[in-house]
Amino acid sequence: MGINAIYQEFIRTCTTAKGRKGNAEMISPSFFDILFRKMEFIETTWYCGERYGTKKRDIDNALNKGKNPVIVMDISGCLSVYNAYPGQCEIIYTDRDKRDCILSIIQKPALRREQVADRIVSFEFEEKNKVLADHIVSVGNGSLEKEVNDVISYLKL
């Protein structure tokens, strides 16, 4: 996948987390377990008591159509995909203002205090791993959709 790629396809991850807007396919924990046992996922993670995973076939389908998959995930997931598709992946870290990130976490009314703490701790971990990225894109405070569009705009440069 070249950095000047024009043809992208946004890949939705699967999650058991309720209330995700647009960026993930919500599935039941039992269905997640079935997909996991059938080895349908290229990567999985547990975060704040919920499961997340990316289906290998979604990535393969995009590549077979001549499109470059764009996937939002943590560094562990990035490295799993990076290793599964050698020479076909680039890790792009979206660098946001730390204060804005923490404010966006603590302003979510549906989160329990433990979830807020978990997200802040994991943010610190992710920030330390940005050195593993092939590219770092500074993005302003905004929605996930805006961040993805900022990255896609960067790719088209």
Mean pLDDT across the stretch 29-48?
93
CB of 83 closer than 8 Å to CB of 95: no
| pLDDT tens, position by position, 81-133 | 999 999 888 888 878 778 887 887 888 777 788 888 887 888 777 788 888 88
What is the reported pLDDT for 85?
92
Mean pLDDT across the stretch 50-67?
92
What is the reported pLDDT for 2?
42
Residue with the larger pLDDT of the pair 43 and 20: 43
Mean pLDDT across the stretch 2-21?
70
Rounded Cα distance between 147 and 45, Å, is 21
Collapsing DSSP to helix, strand or coil, 149 comes out as helix
Report the percentage of the chain scoring pLDDT > 90.
Answer: 25
